[in-house]
Structures are given as structure tokens and as C-alpha cells.
């Protein structure tokens, strides 16, 4: 393949995002395999924030000038951070890159009353969107999920968010043990009544090496089978679409125009810097797509950054084929699908027309009027298999 066919130049105004990972939580939820850690003896927040500043400076030295269109504080539980820490990190992003006037700045928050008291401080620091992990509107379910808040406390936090931020979203987990179609429908409708423009609705995944995986393997955690899970998914699509919150991604629903711009940067294959323990990044440098990953263990990451300016453990150039397959993998999660011409420009080859034709015949994919390839409503539950079929 001729490299000259690969279009990796960065047009002006190309979106650039910064992801900042705060890896600490008050307790570990039994279903969660995110890079999150509990530190009963406390966290030296000042020292961590200084290391975040260092890693931002080191990353910016590599990328050069960029205009940041989105910043996302994810976790872990970033709402355990002091607003002053968030402010310092945002100042550092502004110092080393420039932040677009209309940048989306999101912070992931756990919906407890203590955390809600910090919302105003985050707003003053520049955060303009919060994403709350409500998870369920049912106290028994919240207890089973190991959450530290009640449904009412979560709804109170949503109300505080609504009063302070222009934009907010919240997450729910469905296909939980014992959940029925009627129960989920009622819960989802109650959630929609409290939602503004965006909801993330995740089907419970039993992640390997979590307490839920152990319980599941021992037959002590009965989650919905494939048929019920599929019905719960279909119900979710119908109820949300009727309420004006269609899915724009397999688990994300928004009023048109209110999609999470940060996550769209990932799914559309644009550029983002990953800062903090276990953060992933994708940078376009010197015409190549670079995949980065940092040390996951918080204290080891801290020592690496203090010693060398960065916590990188992975820093590799992706081949054109890998870049194109990532675009396919991420882009097909979106209702808008992917642009086959961009796939061709990235990889230097077309998506196999025979495989597209076969999947089309099975009703799993379709071409839109403007020539994009997307997964159909009935293909979405089989997304992993569709992507595996189309990837090189």
C-alpha cells in the first residue's frame, strides 16, 4: 500500500479533546472494572494535580498547538476532587493548548449529597456539563449494585445539576438481576421525566474478575437471559425515541444537537489526549496516528510522571489498517455510521463489498442516502459480530 494514499493531515478546526482520569472512588462497586481504586488512608490530591499539570505539559510539547473543543473529567469519581484542583487542571490545559470558546467541559459525578455541594465550585472552575451515575431509581437495586446513594438522593443531585449547569446527563444500568419489562419501562419513564437532553443507558455487563463475575459463576446472580435482554434493549429504544431522545450511539440517547461532543470525538475517530492513570489517547503527529496508554496504578503513574514527565506505558504508531479498523469499530457504534470514503482514505482499501452485501441481506447494515454505512436497529444487538465481519 502506498503511504501517499493515507490522508492523515490535520485540517484546521479538527476536533481535539482532552480526557483527564481521576482514579479514586469511595468504594468499589461490585460490577465495575473501570480503573478505579479506594484509598482509605486518603489521597495526596495536591501531588496528583501537580502530576496532571506535568503530563499535560509533556503531551502538549508533542502535539504542538491545538484548539481543545472538549475536556472530560472521568473516573473513578472525579466529583471527589476539590473544585480548585479542577480549576488548576483546566488552567493548565488553557496554558499549553488553547480552549475553544464554546468547548464542552464535562465532569463525571456520583450523585451523593456531599458531591452535589461541590457542583457550584465546578461551575465556577469552568465545567459546563455534568454526567451523573444514577444507575437505578430503585433503592433495592441500588443496594444490590453496591451504590452509596439512594434513588431520592440521586434525584436531588440531578435537581442541583439542573439548577447549576447548562447541560447534564445521567447514566442508568438496565438488564439488572430480576428486572422485568414492565419494571424497566416504568423506571425509564420516571428517568426521562428528570432528564433534560441526554441519557446514557447501559446494559449490565458481567465484567471478568469483578465480584459480580464471581457471584454469576456461582449461580448467585441471575441476570436476564439473551431474549429478555434483547426485549429490554428494544423497549429502551422505543420509549426513548417516543420521548424525543433517540439513540445516537448504541447506549447513548440525546435530543438532536445535544449529543456528548466529547464521546463523538472518540467515535468519529478524531484526536484526543489521555491524561492521568490508565488514560488512553490517540494523537495525530507527523502524519501518523499514535496510540497512547498510561500506567494504570495511580501511585506508580505518579512516580513515573514525577521521574520522567509522563506516565506512558504504550506509545505506538498505528498502521493505516489498524487506524481504519478502529474507525470502523468506533464509528459503527453511532446511528450515523461511517463514511466509507474516509475508511478508504485511512486504509488505502475499500471495505469488502461482498461482506457488506451479505450483512445487508441479513438486515444488519444499510447504506444511507448520503452514502454512509450504518448498522440497522436490528443489527445493533449484534454489533460486535458485525464489526468483526467487516474489519480487515
Ligand X SMILES: C[S@@+](CC[C@H](N)C(=O)[O-])C[C@H]1O[C@@H](n2cnc3c(N)ncnc32)[C@H](O)[C@@H]1O
Cα separation of 300 and 254, whole Å?
Answer: 38
- Chain positions 35 to 54 lying near ligand SF4, rule: CB under 6 A, are 36
Residues that bind ligand X (CB under 6 A): 31-32, 34, 74-75, 77, 108, 110, 133, 135, 171, 173, 202, 204-205, 207
25 or 51: CB nearest ligand SF4: 25
> DSSP secondary-structure letter at 218?
T
- Chain positions 61 to 80 lying near ligand SF4, rule: CB under 6 A, are 75-77
Beta carbons of 187 and 157 less than 8 angstroms apart: no
- Chain positions 104 to 123 lying near ligand SF4, rule: CB under 6 A, are 110
Q: Which partner in ligand SF4, ligand X, none is near 106 (CB below 5 to 8 A by kind)?
A: none
DSSP secondary structure string, 247-286?
EEETTEEE-TT-S-HHHHHHHTT-EEEEESTT-EEEEEET
Q: Which partner in ligand X, ligand SF4, none is near 157 (CB below 5 to 8 A by kind)?
A: none
Which of 7, 8, 14, 28 touches ligand SF4 (CB under 6 A)?
A: 28
- 203 in contact with ligand SF4 (CB under 6 A): no
Triad 104, 383, 371: Cα angle to 5°: 75
Cα separation of 336 and 145, whole Å?
Answer: 33
132 or 375: CB nearest ligand SF4: 132
Cell of 242: 417516543
Q: Which partner in ligand SF4, ligand X, none is near 28 (CB below 5 to 8 A by kind)?
A: ligand SF4
First to last CA, the chain: 14
Other Cβ atoms closer than 10 A to 299: 15
Which of 34, 62, 243, 288 touches ligand SF4 (CB under 6 A)?
A: 34
131 or 323: CB nearest ligand SF4: 131
Q: How far is the CB of 110 from ligand X (least distance, A)?
A: 4
35 or 87: CB nearest ligand X: 35
Cα separation of 261 and 248, whole Å?
Answer: 12
Cα separation of 51 and 39, whole Å?
Answer: 18
Binding site for ligand SF4 (CB under 6 A): 25, 28-29, 32, 34, 36, 75-77, 110, 133
Amino acid at each position: 500500500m502506498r503511504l501517499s494514499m493515507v490522508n492523515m493531515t490535520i485540517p484546521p478546526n479538527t476536533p481535539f479533546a482532552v480526557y483527564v482520569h481521576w482514579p479514586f472512588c469511595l468504594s468499589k462497586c461490585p460490577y465495575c472494572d473501570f480503573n478505579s481504586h479506594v484509598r482509605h488512608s486518603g489521597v495526596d490530591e495536591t501531588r496528583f494535580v501537580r502530576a496532571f499539570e506535568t503530563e499535560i505539559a509533556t503531551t502538549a510539547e508533542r502535539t504542538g498547538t491545538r484548539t481543545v473543543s472538549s475536556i472530560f473529567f472521568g473516573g473513578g469519581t472525579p466529583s471527589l476532587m476539590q473544585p480548585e484542583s479542577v480549576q488548576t487542571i483546566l488552567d493548565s490545559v488553557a496554558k499549553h493548548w488553547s480552549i475553544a470558546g464554546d468547548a464542552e467541559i464535562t465532569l463525571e459525578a456520583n450523585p451523593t449529597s456531599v458531591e452535589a455541594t461541590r457542583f457550584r465550585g465546578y461551575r465556577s472552575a469552568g465545567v459546563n456539563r455534568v454526567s451523573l451515575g444514577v444507575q437505578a431509581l430503585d433503592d433495592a437495586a441500588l443496594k444490590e449494585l453496591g451504590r452509596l446513594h439512594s434513588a431520592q438522593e440521586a434525584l436531588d443531585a440531578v435537581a442541583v445539576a439542573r439548577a447549576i449547569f447548562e447541560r447534564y446527563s445521567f447514566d442508568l444500568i438496565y438488564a439488572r438481576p430480576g428486572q422485568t419489562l414492565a419494571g424497566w419501562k416504568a423506571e425509564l419513564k420516571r428517568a426521562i421525566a428528570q432528564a433534560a437532553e441526554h441519557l446514557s443507558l447501559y446494559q449490565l455487563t458481567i465484567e471478568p474478575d469483578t465480584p459480580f463475575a464471581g457471584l454469576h459463576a456461582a449461580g448467585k446472580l441471575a441476570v436476564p437471559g439473551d431474549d429478555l435482554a434483547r426485549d429490554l434493549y428494544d423497549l429502551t429504544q422505543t420509549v426513548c425515541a417516543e420521548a424525543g431522545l433517540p439513540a445516537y450511539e448504541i447506549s447513548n440517547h440525546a435530543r438532536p444537537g445535544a449529543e456528548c461532543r466529547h464521546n463523538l470525538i472518540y467515535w468519529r475517530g478524531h484526536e484526543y489526549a489521555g491524561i492521568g492513570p490508565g488514560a488512553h489517547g490517540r494523537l495525530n503527529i507527523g502524519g501518523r496516528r499514535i496510540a497512547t496508554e498510561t500506567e494504570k496504578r495511580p501511585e506508580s503513574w505518579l512516580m513515573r510522571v514525577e521521574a520522567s514527565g509522563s506516565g506512558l506505558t504504550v506509545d505506538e504508531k498505528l498502521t493505516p489498517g489498524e487506524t481504519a479498523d478502529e474507525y470502523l469499530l468506533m464509528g459503527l457504534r453511532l446511528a450515523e455510521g461511517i463514511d466509507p470514503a474516509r475508511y478508504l482514505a485511512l486504509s488505502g482499501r475499500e471495505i469488502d463489498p461482498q461482506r457488506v452485501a451479505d450483512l445487508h441481506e441479513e438486515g444488519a447494515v444499510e447504506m444511507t442516502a448520503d452514502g454512509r454505512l450504518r448498522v440497522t436497529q436490528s443489527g445493533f444487538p449484534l454489533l460486535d459480530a458485525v464489526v468483526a465481519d467487516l474489519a480487515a
